[in-house]
Structure 1
Amino acid sequence: MNKELIINASGEGVEIALLEDKKLVELHYERGTNQFAVGDLYLGRIKKLMPQLNAVFVDVGYEKDAFLSYTDLSPYLRSLIKFSKQSVDGNPSWGEHFGSFKNEAEILKNGKITEVFNGKPEVLVQVFKEPISSKGPRLSCEISLPGRFVVVTPFNDVVAISRKIHSADERKRLQRIVESIKPKNFGVIVRTAAEGKNTAELHADILELEKMWKTIQRNLKGAKAPQMILSEQDKTTSILRDLLSVSFQKVVINDKKIMTEMKDYISRIAPEQAEIVSLHTAQQPIFETYGISKQVKAAFGKTVNLSSGAYLIIEHTEALHVIDVNSGTRHAEAGQEQNAIMTNLEAAAEIARQMRLRDLGGIIIIDFIDMKLPEHKKQLVEAMEELMVTDRAKHTVLPISKFGLMQITRQRLRPELNISTAENCPTCKGTGKIGPSILLADDIEKDFKYLVTQGHKDLALHVHPIVEGYLTKGTLLKPSIVKKWAKAAKVKMKVVIDNASPLTEYNFYDAHTNDMIKL
């Protein structure tokens, strides 16, 4: 699979498109004031305890207080509060070496929020979900610092290996390497991208994240809640960090400054791939050059058409998303059951793409075309699971229910991406009021002049009554549009009302023979 990252920088921000085999699968927008993004770290102040919800509201500077549930507290919460307070005061008991930090007792897994927050302390928190709709950000106290090959978690010494690495020998190898190089007081989660990497690559990644933790400590010194402590890397960098592999063919950017930054970043994490970054210099807009604008118009909207003639209807409610699969052209040689499975498999591929593209989250209900055979239902579920392997969001695919519905839950971290592909009507300009269009008059005049050049001297124009009134309305001082045309061309033309004619259609006839003239 060939991957390409196309980046369009403008005054409003940055648009990032991820293509897989030339097909748009992810679209991200990064604005200049993109605060409260997933991964951002804040020094927050506890505002209100909610015992009935077993949660607290935290002031992180957003217009609405952020939500922190007990289930999102780290077992090392007391250690985190201690670290936050001493770092803010500038008198850390561990000095320059975090490995000598003495952890506090862990909190109970099923405890009460009132038991762990005495008063309203200031604490380091991380954005877990961006503000969505009328809700503020959702926070976590399980601080994690993601790198390319590993994720570092402070206050513990656990080493965990991604479940997507299936080889037992490889898992043992990575476990041994990480345990030998990881700093004290840091847990390490080994990512799937670490498979096959050597000790030097993993060590460099861990050292980079250890420096980031020291930066957090420096930024906390003298901080006053609410205050941002460390921002997640920009969207472009985070995508490259998570997805960069040998399958990446190019990264094209239309901004020289961003291009230089991206080249420097890739040179640090994967020097052998630095040459894939290039600057877009053509006159045509970058999204037009790579066919992204066309794909956006085709992919967003209520209806999504498939190549076979089938189509999807995607509806959004407050609680869930509903996708209906409708069959298109059927193959005559195939039976109903075979047509159903063929259409459903094609729809599954597009649905997996649409979930990534629109960043659909929460509960997704899919009404596939009914199938009778259990093996076909099993084949469809397995295909959907396989198609969603590349999806970075956590998800679960459930078997097809007895009502023929597939249920998918997908991690919701950001607001759904919704792009309006509707355009204003060129006739009414979006007002909803239709009258004779100047564009229609231009078309009629162009055809009239062409017929004159073909030798026609006496014409009859048949049009809708409203158009007839528009073309023939004139005064003694100001002749009608039709009279102006006829006088300029030195021919005769009359306008005939055709009550059966649609508003925007017209026909020319020879006034003598009453025959329609084909254009």
Structure 2
Amino acid sequence: MSNELIISATQDGCRIALLKDKTLVEFHNEEEGSKFTVGDIYLGTVKKVVQGLNAAFIDVGYDKDAFLHYLDLGPQFGSLQKFTKLVRAKKINGGKLDKFNPEPDIDKHGKITQLLAKNQVVPVQIVKEPISTKGPRLSCELSLAGRYLVLVPFSNAVSVSKKITSSEERKRLLRLIQSIKPENFGVIIRTVAEGKDVAELDRDLRSMVKTWEEGMTRLVTANSRDKIIGELSKTSSLLRDMLNESFDNVHVDDKKIFEDVKAYVRSIAPDKEKIVKLYSGKAKIFEHYGIEKQIKSAFGQTVSLKGGGYLIIEHTEALHVIDVNSGNKSNREENQETTALSVNLEAAKEIARQLRLRDMGGIIVIDFIDMKNQDNKKLIYKTIKDEMEEDKAKSTVLPLSKFGLMQITRERVRPQMNIATKEVCPTCNGTGKITASILVSDLIEKNIEHLLVKQNEKDLVLAVHPYVYAFFTKGIISRRVKWYFKYKRWVNMIMDSSMGVTEFKFLNKEGEEIQLN
């Protein structure tokens, strides 16, 4: 199975697509300067303590105050508060904890009013990004994620991922980490640490301890709302979490991002540096790898299945609803049960992909086509469980009910990815009335004449919709060939399916768009 990461630079940041066997399975839109990413640590100020909720609302700089429940304070909250006061009073230099005397764990069933008061400052970590009308969700149980380990300050516990099943390997990793970890730091050993030697684990641990110490240095002079420790960019965090898999290539179309990614890969896995490649093709990188088309087909309300069935996906404030339909598949099978099983199996695989692709969280209700055979129902349940194994978000799947409904809860830590796939007509801007589309060819030819004859442009490039591209280029003596005979200059053309049928743009030899009057 091939894994490829495609990174496309945009004006505001970058778009990241993860492909498995050329099929889009994850899509992220990362904007520069975006705040409140999961994992970021801020210095917050308590704005309100609500005894009835046993929670507090914290100001971290978002429009709405963030939510912090008592259970999210963590057992070592007393140690965190004591350490914060000592650091800000400059009685402790840096973030070293070897000489720090921890406080006892707080009461599991205590009240938040005993620990927090209005205007109190407290370091907090984002565990859920702002979603809909809600502010961020916070925790005071701070942790720093590395490639192989997770560092937990103020704890001394060392735990191993349950997915590492070998008792010998678990003992080896526990012994290694206990011998190298600093005092008063706990460590969670991630699944990908299996089989790694002490040098790699030590390098990862030292990197996280350094990040913690740098953050605590900033804490000394930090003001309320300041970010103390920032999580990696989405690109880097994807590489950190997934580079252990059989990654074949990372393609980047921007020189700066390429250098950043290459440097990051070199720091965490030097042997993988060669897989990072700079894309220099003429077509847009998402167009070249067929991602643009997959995005348009995958994010609509209706999603087609290869076998002829289709899904209808509806979103509400409370939950997501997915309806499975057989479409024209019903004409091909022997009987209704066979048809239902065939469509439901294909739908189960696509639904697992859709949940990951759209990052749909909360409650998901799926209305599968009715089946009578209990074994078939169990097969659908097993299929969707197996398909969701690779999903990093935690989820719970319930078997099909007697009404043919399946309920899934999936961890929601950031807003759902939603891409508008219906295009507003570029000519009428949604009014419903346009000038005749056939006139676009005349308009393009007028602009070509103006640019080649009057402005004397060299190496002119014309970007158009694939339909218009075909109109100008097909045939032995195409329209483009006729332009060459007329103007004695070749016009390069590129297809861009993100453009409307009547949209077009001209680019100069530097690749910059030429503004037309």
The TM-score, its normalising length taken from structure 2, stands at 0.82
Is this contact kept in 2: 1:181–1:203, CA < 8 A? yes
**Equivalent position of 1:3 in the other structure:** 3
CA contact under 8 A between 2:49 and 2:117: conserved in structure 1? no
Q: CA deviation at 1:95?
A: 6.8
Quote the Cα distance in structure 2 between the aligned partners of 1:216 and 1:314: 43
State the match for 1:395 in structure 2.
395
Q: CA deviation at 1:6?
A: 0.5
Query: Contact 1:300–1:421 at 8 Å: present in 2 too?
Result: yes
Kindly name which structure, 1 or 2, has the bigger radius of gyration based on alpha carbons.
Answer: 1
Larger deviation, residues 177-186 vs 277-286: 177-186
1:56 alignment counterpart: 56
**Deviation at residue 427 of structure 1 after TM alignment:** 7.6
Aligned to 1:76: 76
Structure 1 position 120, deviation (Å): 3.6
Q: Is the 1:74–1:141 Cα contact (8 Å) retained in structure 2?
A: yes
One-letter code of the match for 2:239?
L
RMSD between aligned residues: 1.8
Q: What's the offset of the Cα at 1:265?
A: 1.1
Q: In 2, Cα distance between the equivalents of 1:192 and 1:421? A: 37
Mapping 1:184-199, distance limit 5 Å: 184-199=183-198
Distance 2:29 2:362 in 1: 21
Corresponding residue for residue 24 of structure 1: 24
Q: 2-side partners of 1:108 and 1:129: how far apart?
A: 25
**How much has 1:425 moved relative to structure 2?**
4.0
1:372 offset after TM fit, Å? Answer: 1.0
Q: Taking every aligned residue pair, what percent have the same amino acid on both sides?
A: 54
Write the mapping of 1:112-511 to structure 2, written as runs, cut at 5 A. Answer: 112-118=111-117, 120-328=119-327, 329-330=329-330, 332-425=332-425, 428-432=428-432, 434=433, 437-439=435-437
1:251: Cα distance to partner? 0.5
Deviation at 1:167, TM superposition (A): 2.3
Answer with 236-245 or 325-334: which moved more. Answer: 325-334
In the TM superposition, what whole-angstrom CA distance separates every residue of 1:470-509 from its partner, at most 9, and x where no partner exists?
A: xxxxxxxxxxxxxxxxxxxxxxxxxxxxxxxxxxxxxxxx
Q: Secondary structure at the match of 1:233?
A: coil
Task: Tell me the distance in 2 between the aligned counterparts of 1:442 and 1:250.
Answer: 39
Partner secondary structure for residue 42 of structure 1? strand
Please say which of residues 50-59 and 81-90 is displaced more in the overlay.
81-90
Which amino acid is the alignment partner of residue 156 of structure 2?
D
The alignment partner of 1:439 has SS state of coil
Post-superposition Cα deviations, 1:362-414, rounded to whole Å, max 9, x if no partner, equal 00000111111111111111111110111011111111112111111001011
Q: CA deviation at 1:160?
A: 1.1
Separation in 1 of the partners of 2:31 and 2:427?
34
Structure 1 stretch displaced more, 166-175 or 66-75: 166-175
* Alpha-carbon spacing, 1:21–1:442, altered in 2? closer, same or farther (3 Å): closer
**Helix, strand or coil for the counterpart of 1:400?**
coil
- Give the superposition deviation at 1:271: 0.9
Unaligned runs of 5+ residues in structure 2 are 442-517
Unpaired runs of 5+ in structure 1? 444-519
Counterpart amino acid of 2:105?
E
Bigger CA drift: 422-431 or 15-24? Answer: 422-431
Deviation per residue, 1:202-227 (Å, 9 max, x gap): 11111111111111111101112121
Structure 1 contact 122–225 (Cα < 8 Å) conserved: yes
Equivalent residue, structure 2, for 1:88 = 88
Separation of aligned partners in 1, 2:389 and 2:206: 30
**Equivalent residues of 2:161, 2:188 under 8 A apart:** yes
Distance 1:199 1:331, change over 3 A: farther
CA distance in 2, matches of 1:30, 1:408: 27
Q: Deviations over 1:402-448 (max 9, x none)?
A: 2111111001011111100111247854103x47x4236889xxxxx
TM-score (norm 1): 0.82
CA contact (8 A) 1:90 1:222 kept: no
Question: C-alpha distance in 1, partners of 2:25/2:250?
Answer: 15
Matched residue count:
441
Quickly say closer, same or farther: Cα 1:9–1:96, change in 2 above 3 A.
Answer: closer
| C-alpha contact (below 8 Å) 1:89/1:222 kept by paired residues | no
